[in-house]
Structure 1
Amino acid sequence: METKDQNRKLLGKIEISGGLSCLTGLHIGASKENLEIGALDSAVVRDPISQEPYIPGSSLKGKLRSLLEKSDMRLQPNRDGGSGISRHECNDWDKGESNNRNYGRKIAFLGALNCPVCRLFGSTGPGEENRN
């Protein structure tokens, strides 16, 4: 059975223009364990119609989330993110519900009840081994 959410279609794109100065690293693209000398780690992302390069929103979202996690001293890194980098992941697995104004119904959620960063960006919650 399909729901209203499954029938939604992309109506267009939103373009946000401006300048960007990176004072810390910003990696765009997938990392590879081994990189040949002189090889590109990933191609520049381009709009398929205009061929203009752009930074995907997901890259900006990931960087913003990372910076917010680091700025909130309550959020201690508790998971290995690979490449020797630790990251924060919520262990908070409380249940709750939020009111979805678009459809006038309650939406159940699991996890991130007490974490402002995960409430904003989403939470995977604990792994299967930690669930009751």
Structure 2
Amino acid sequence: MSKALKGIIKLECKIRVLTGLHIGGSKENVEIGGIDNIVIKVPVLKLDEAIERDVPYIPGSSIKGKMRALLEWVEKPEGSMQVIALENKGEPCNCGRCRVCKLFGAHKNAKTEEPVRLRVEDFYPTEKTIDMWKKFLDGDFVEVKVENTIDRIKGTALHPRHQERVIPFSEFTGFIKIRVHEGDRKELFDTIIRGIQLLEDDYLGGSGSRGYGKVKFIKEKILWTDYRKQPFEEKIVDENEIANIYGA
């Protein structure tokens, strides 16, 4: 059973889009000639008095889910010699004791007493990115890419489909938060860093095999709030201090 909560580590990150990014949204009625696959957007950002547009963002659930899936190809369940993805035949780990379970939660295991350590916020575009979109994109803040199936005999394009993508060089900002409990070890923090590296080497969103979704994480700063001290105080730390946070 986990011990008392010591504090929270917050990674303030920027995600830079390197190739077109598609994280799917929903559209109840697609009109003839309309977009087949739209990106997820949030309708809250008013740019000026005359224009109000839905703005693409990156859901924290998309980041967290992909990071977990990738880590389960390199991490092993407690007491196993195989990686989680093979040991569990594609199902998320539910052992409740390994690093993945402690960070992301034990899948469908109501008996685990370990709290989930990892929180990933939604990431929203920076002001610089919105200015770039306003300058180079008409209408919605996305590009529309047309894709086809090729007839192998005739060499002609079949079944064209239109897909929205966030353009390269767009940047989104948000926080990755890690709860630190008494008895936790720095390997949990290191596992998150490994997950970020795996995600950078793979892709985020859909159609990665076709070149979509290459991203870069930029750690802007690391913040630490020690809940054992009153009043709570948030301070900037560097990675060299993380071991002291877990070991103190």
Q: TM-score, normalised by structure 2?
A: 0.25
Q: TM-score, normalised by structure 1?
A: 0.43
Q: Which one has a bigger Cα radius of gyration?
A: 2
Give 1 or 2: higher strand fraction: 2
